[in-house]
Chain A
Amino acid sequence: EVQLVESGGGLVQPGGSLRLSCAASGFTFSSYWMSWVRQAPGKGLEWVANMKQDGSEKYYVDSVKGRFTISRDNAKNSLYLQMNSLRAEDTAVYYCARDGRYCPNGVCSYYFDYWGQGTLVTVSS
């Protein structure tokens, strides 16, 4: 059974840092792209970042570029999100998600096929 369990959320002051972790099990972690997606209070889902299997490609939403860093440890089946210079608008539930892929004719499409339960990050003084 695929499981994704986030941890590391909490209350942090503006300008502070936090590191989120996502422990994966039930699948070959090193074979999948992985993502972070967040939902601010009363708002919709927002993709934050994703990362290729070997770490050679990473992509970020513009609002977090230069402040957040996605990383992974395939030996530990874990995904991370280092969040620096946090702002009030970063307050959200952060979800870890697996990037599933569908390649019917050699061209792949990607989607979030498994999600964790999320961890709440609150940025406030």
Chain B
Amino acid sequence: QSVLTQPPSASGTPGQRVTISCSGSSSNIGSNTVNWYQHLPGTAPKLLIFSNSQRPSGVPDRFSGSKSGTSASLAISGLQSEDEADYYCAAWDDSLNGVVFGGGTKLTVL
């Protein structure tokens, strides 16, 4: 049972826009920034969004992040087949004194 809650799966067709939610509490998302990671099995996870909505250089602007209260979301527009991967949200938790991850969302491009 993960501290941050994500839907286990999401899907969309090429070109569509999909969003992935991440729900937490006042001790994590409510008081700290949220980061998003993309992970393909067998590879190193990749930073997608940091500090709620900032994109590292090299990440396409099709990816965007937002945060409101104790929830955050990742939006992917213009869905591409290469976006098929697992996506994780993460944040520091002040009560646990550690980083907490969501359980991950498996994105399928139909």
Using a CB–CB cutoff of 8 Å, the interface residues on chain A facing chain B are 35, 37, 44-47, 50, 59-62, 95, 100, 102, 104, 109-118
Contact = CB atoms under 8 A, between A and B. Distances in A.
Contact of A59 (B47, B51, B97, B101): B97
14 contacts: A45-B37, A45-B45, A46-B101, A47-B100, A62-B96, A95-B45, A100-B50, A102-B54, A109-B50, A110-B92, A111-B33, A112-B37, A112-B47, A114-B47
Interface residues of B, number: 28
Interface of B: 2, 32-33, 35, 37, 39, 43-47, 50-51, 54, 56, 86, 88, 90, 92, 96-104
B52 to A, nearest CB: 8
Contacts of A46: 101
A45 B103 CA distance: 7
Closest 3 CB pairs of A and B: A47-B99, A109-B33, A44-B104
B101 A44 contact: yes
Contacts of A60: 98
B104 A111 contact: no
A113 B43 CA distance: 15
Interface centre among B37, B39, B45, B99 (most CB of A within 10 A): B99
A111 B44 contact: no
A109 B10 CA distance: 28
B50 A45 contact: no
Nearest to B41: A39
Contacts of B50: 100, 102, 109, 111, 113
Nearest to A104: B51
Contacts of A111: 33, 35, 47, 50-51, 90
Contacts of B86: 44
A120 to B, nearest CB: 11
B47 A113 contact: yes
B46 A115 contact: yes
Contact of B88 (A35, A45, A117): A45
